Amino acid sequence: MIGFVPKTHLRYVQFKTRYATDKTDTVTVIEMFLVLVVVLSLGLAQGGTWSNPTCAPGRHTITHLFEWKWSDIAAECERFLGPYGYCGVQISPPNENRVVTSPNRPWWERYQPVSYKLTTRSGNEDDFRDMVQRCNKVNVRVYADVVINHMTGSGGSGTGTGGSHWDGNSLSYPGVPFSSWDFNSGSECQTGDGNIHNYNDPNEVRNCRLVSLVDLKLSKDYVRDTVAGYLNHLISLGVAGFRVDAAKHMWPGDLRSVFGRLNGLNTAYFPSGTKPFIYQEVIDMGHEAIHASEYTGFARVTNFIYGIKLADVFRHRNQAKWLRTWGQQWGMPNSNDVVVFIDNHDNQRGHGGGGGVLTFFEPRAYKMATEFMLAHPYGFTRVMSSYKWNRNIQGGDDINNWQGPPHNGDMSIKGATIQSDMSCGNGWVCEHRWRQIYNMVAFRNVVMGTTMANWWDNGDYAIAFSRGNKGFIVINAGTTDINVNLQTGLPQGTYCDVISGDYNNGGCTGNQVHVGGDGHAHFHISHSSDDPVVAIHIGAKKGSEKKVTT
């Protein structure tokens, strides 16, 4: 989600991070019951879920290439994401958006739709189609970030990235077309100015404007049909699913109705009848008036508790030994209901969910947290891939968090250049290309379907566990060295540590770990190491001919 203009941007942050007390919402209960009756009578609930990932077999992690151009994503699918085992890529909103020149082309302008034409700074519809086709051909799925709660801010007018006129004062969006009849008004929102003021009131959160962004009337069939038409167009081009922005600000029944109008995925790439994979942005830190559980059961939600709690551990605010019970026992939803992440494009800038997460600005702790995420069985995993911006912290806030992607003099987005060490240049961070991360993506692919076993901890910040008999990881996040013999659960042999190096042509470019006939191995990890983690798995066993990253 995004801010509107700099003046209201801070209000947006305050709204998104404010905790609310629990409150029974009888309107929601009644609405959900009526929607369920209608859905069942229309046969729209066949299959009953949009929660199943649409990955190619053997792939289980996506990355968010935030603000990349479509042509660059297509190339990245072919040269890296496909060969290194990524399931898919989340892309920035592909629809026409407002052009914001003050501040100069901020990232959040893409979260103010003008129409559903596929023309943005990332490219046009031809570029988009080419990207999706090329990514699918190498078994990398495309998940579009879709903004369907609102259009632009209520003030001003202009021309969007695709040439469409818009007028936020008169609520005129002829590029769709939407008119004033298609937005919530005083009949639905009783706050006077139409904006959200009380996050303890679920009706206000869902029927009023988020920081002056004009709120679509998703209860109206024309709006539902139009939004579904946009999503179905993306599906026809080969998109595999959607991240739904600001889902918390829409009624669950309205979303179910929209999702029920969606077609099966394009049969050129998917089996007939395959439903799109949908994950909804619902910020629920455990004390919200709106609960993530209202949105699970028919689609997944993005788990914001996850990254905050792991940041506490790897910043030494909570001992790693407690991660033994990581998951639902920490107050988080069922594993099959969530997409998990260390940070996202919002909270790495201090927005949605209250900030406080680990980011690429703290690379050592960030890598450890990501390695844990990819090793642990909880949730469907997403890796952030960022660009750099010039941080300027004043009063605890980063006043430069609005800055858009690396750009040329004409404000066109710069491509991510690839260096000889596989890292990115031109201002792109590319965490998805960090060895410690892409090798753990492969680790997760190998161990998927196994449970956590052989837990060990030193009573403090050093932990280890296996994934069945397929993989084993040791993390020393503490202040003392560890020098221990541990039961790995793995078959006897010599394994490549995929944190210190790669597995190539049957050999190791990094450290090696010998597992004895009884499954035990010795681990010595310095607390001061740049990478105080060791990870081994059966796909990187020395002498094996199988390449697990393809």
Distance, in Å, from the CA atom of 390 to the CA atom of 388, rounded to the nearest integer, reads 7
User: Token pair of 272, please?
Assistant: 């007939």
Coil, helix or strand at residue 369: helix
Q: Catalytic annotation on 67?
A: no
CB 430 within 8 A of CB 424: yes
Task: Supply the DSSP string of 418-453, one letter for each residue.
Answer: B-TTS-B-TTB--GGG-HHHHHHHHHHHHHTTPPEE
User: Token pair of 525, please?
Assistant: 């990890």
Q: Catalytic annotation on 96?
A: no
CB 466 within 8 A of CB 472: yes
CA triplet 136, 67, 350: central angle to 5 degrees?
125
Catalytic site residue from 145, 254, 281, 346: 281
Catalytic site residue from 201, 215, 245, 254: 245
Distance, in Å, from the CA atom of 397 to the CA atom of 354, rounded to the nearest integer, reads 11
Coil, helix or strand at residue 207: helix
Q: How many other C-beta atoms lie within 10 A of the C-beta of residue 34?
A: 11
Cα separations (Å) of 276 from 26, 366, 391, 533? 30, 31, 37, 36
Torsion of CA 115, 120, 123, 129, to 10 degrees: -30
Distance, in Å, from the CA atom of 50 to the CA atom of 273, rounded to the nearest integer, reads 12
CB 250 within 8 A of CB 218: yes
| CB-based contacts of 325-328 (< 8 A; 24+ apart in sequence) | 326/376, 326/378, 327/378
DSSP conformation class of 516: -
Distance, in Å, from the CA atom of 62 to the CA atom of 67, rounded to the nearest integer, reads 15
Q: Are strands 61-65 and 380-385 parallel, antiparallel or unpaired?
A: parallel
Nearest to 306 by CA among 344, 335, 332, 336: 332
User: Token pair of 342, please?
Assistant: 């260390």
Q: How many other C-beta atoms lie within 10 A of the C-beta of residue 153?
A: 21
Three-state secondary structure string covering 372-422: HHHHCCCCEEEEEECECCCCCEECCEECCCCCCCCECCCCCECCCCECCCC
Q: Positive or negative CA dihedral for 418, 95, 10, 8?
A: positive
User: Token pair of 380, please?
Assistant: 């469907």
Q: Which residues are catalytic?
A: 245, 281
